């Protein structure tokens, strides 16, 4: 009687075991790494209708964030400036530049410029800029070194665990309120200063759900 199983089948269980461990681990790693906001979202840099350079305006020219994002201390939104703000300068500087054509058009027609949103939170998360910048969370802490960005990209994952890193230990991140818009700010003794600031501003970053979700 012939053998039912050929000889190679002796090794089959072993190969199957090793194979499934390898495949399983690969799968877990793939999902864990590639599906995370750190991989998917960080670095997202869509093309904008106007090639506005933060590197030039905020970096080289040293304009303060608040020159354009005027309402960040009052509102939940750090407003994208009206065309009017651009035209304050650009009705005199680079008035013929082809890159600024959409801006001039918007100014003439009254139609808005359609900027593409870069930093994106889901609908059920309510983030409030004014609640953060007024107690010393720097622009840079979430948005990265805007003064070095030729094209704006997402600098941080903006995931919930990333938010909670700061909400659980704000002293590691806060800075004096007057330094909020400073780029590249570093404190010598962040922890010590952070603790003082947390006490001074009465910071109790909510860690319960409806601090942000409602």
Partner 1 sequence: MDPDTQRTTMSTDMSTDTSTDMSNDLQHTTESDENLAPNTYWKSLGELARNKEYEDYEHREFGKEASELGDPVSRKSFLRIMGASIAMAGFAACRRPVQKILPYSRQPEDVTIGIPMHYASVFSHQDAATGILIENNEGRPSKIEGNPDHPASRGKTTLYEQAMILSMYDPDRSRGIRFNGEPSTQDDFVAAAASHFADRSRRVLFVSELSSSPTLLRLKEQALGQFPNARWVNYEPFGEANAFEGAELAFGQRLRTVNHFDRADVIVALDDDFMSPQSHKNALQNARMVTDRRKVMTTDDTMNRLYVVEGTFTSTGSYADSRKKLKASHVAPFTYALAARLFNATNASELRPFAGVNNEFLLDETLEAMVEDLVAAQGSSLVTAGYGQPTEVHAAVAAINAALGNVGTSDAAPVTYHVVDHVDGSESLASFADAIAAVNSGEFDTMVLVGTNPVFNAPSDIDVAGALDKTTVFHLADMVDETSKQATWHVNRAHSLEQWNDARSFTGAHSVVQPQILPLFDGWSEVEFLNTILSGEYTQGYNLVRDTWRSELGVRTDREWNAILHDGLRKETPGAFRAVNPRLTNGFGRAMEQAVGAAGVAGAGAASSTAPASTGSASDMELIIRPDAKLFDGRYANNGWLMELPDPMSKITWDNVALMSMKTAEKLGIPTERHLSDISAPIVKLTVEGRTIEIPAWIQPGHAEDSITVTVGYGREGIGRVADGAGTNTYPLRSTTAQYAAAVQVEVTDRDIEMACTQAQFSLEGRDMVRSTTLSDYKEHPKFATYKSVHGYEVPGIKEMEENGESDGPISLFNETYGPDYEPQWGMAIDLNACFGCGVCTIACQAENNIPVIGKKEVSRRRIMHWIRTDRYFAGDIDNPQVYHQPVPCMHCELAPCEQVCPVAATTHSDDGMNQMTYNRCIGTRYCANNCPFKVRRFNFFNYTDEYLTQGDDPEIVQMAMNPEVTVRFRGVMEKCSYCVQRVNREKITTKRETGSPKPADGTVLTACQQACPADAITFGDLTDNNSVVVQHKRTDRNYQMLEELNVRPRTSYLAMLKNPHPSLYEAPAKKH
Chain residues 157-196 in contact with partner 1, contact rule CB under 8 A: none
Please enumerate in sequence order all residues whose Cβ is within 8 A of that of 149, keeping only pairs 6 or more positions apart, or say none: 53, 54, 55
Chain residues 108-167 in contact with partner 1, contact rule CB under 8 A: 109-117, 120, 122-124, 126, 128, 130-131, 134-135
What single DSSP character describes residue 16? H
User: Applying CB under 8 A, does 101 fall inside the site for partner 1?
Assistant: no
User: Applying CB under 8 A, does 209 fall inside the site for partner 1?
Assistant: yes
User: Applying CB under 8 A, does 21 fall inside the site for partner 1?
Assistant: no
Q: How far is the CB of 164 from partner 1 (least distance, A)?
A: 14
- Calpha distance 109→123 (Å, rounded): 31
What single DSSP character describes residue 97? -
Residue 145 or 167 having the CB closest to partner 1: 167
Ramachandran category for residue 66: left, alpha or beta (phi over 0 → left; psi -120 to 50 → alpha)? alpha
Residue 32 or 77 having the CB closest to partner 1: 77
Choose one: 3-11, 54-62, 69-77, 170-178; the region binding partner 1 (CB under 8 A): 69-77
Residue 9 or 30 having the CB closest to partner 1: 30
Residues touching partner 1: how many (CB under 8 A)? 48
Residue 102 or 194 having the CB closest to partner 1: 102
Dihedral pair phi/psi, residue 165, rounded to 5°? -50, -45
Closest CA to 43 of 141, 153, 152, 142: 153
Q: How far is the CB of 21 from partner 1 (least distance, A)?
A: 26
Length, in residues, of the chain = 214
- Calpha distance 194→176 (Å, rounded): 9
User: Applying CB under 8 A, does 214 fall inside the site for partner 1?
Assistant: yes
Closest CA to 101 of 148, 54, 50: 50
User: Applying CB under 8 A, does 5 fall inside the site for partner 1?
Assistant: no
Residue 8 or 120 having the CB closest to partner 1: 120
Can you say how many angstroms the Cα of residue 197 is from the centroid of all Cα atoms in its chain? 24
For 70, the token pair is: 């005027």
Interacting residues with partner 1 (CB under 8 A): 40-41, 44, 46, 71, 74-77, 79-85, 106-107, 109-117, 120, 122-124, 126, 128, 130-131, 134-135, 201-202, 204, 206-211, 213-214
């Amino acid at each position: 009687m012939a053998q039912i199983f050929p000889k190679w089948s002796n090794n089959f269980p072993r190969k199957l075991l090793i194979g499934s461990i390898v495949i399983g681990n690969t799968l877990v790693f793939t999902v864990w790494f590639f599906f995370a906001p750190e991989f998917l979202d960080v670095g997202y840099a869509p093309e904008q209708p106007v090639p506005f350079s933060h590197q030039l305006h905020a970096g080289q020219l040293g304009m303060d964030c608040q020159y354009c994002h005027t309402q960040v201390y009052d509102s939940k939104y750090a407003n994208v400036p009206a065309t009017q703000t651009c035209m304050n300068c650009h009705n005199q500087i680079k008035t013929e530049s082809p890159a600024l054509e959409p801006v001039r058009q918007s100014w003439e027609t009254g139609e808005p410029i359609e900027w593409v949103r870069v930093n994106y939170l889901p609908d059920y998360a309510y983030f409030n800029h004014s609640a953060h910048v007024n107690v010393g969370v720097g622009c840079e802490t979430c948005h990265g070194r805007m003064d070095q960005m030729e094209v704006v990209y997402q600098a941080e994952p903006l995931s919930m665990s990333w938010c909670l890193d700061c909400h659980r230990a704000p002293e590691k991140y806060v800075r004096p309120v007057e330094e909020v818009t400073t780029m590249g700010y570093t404190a010598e003794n962040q922890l010590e200063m952070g603790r003082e600031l947390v006490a001074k501003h009465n910071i109790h970053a909510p860690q319960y759900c409806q601090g942000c979700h409602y």
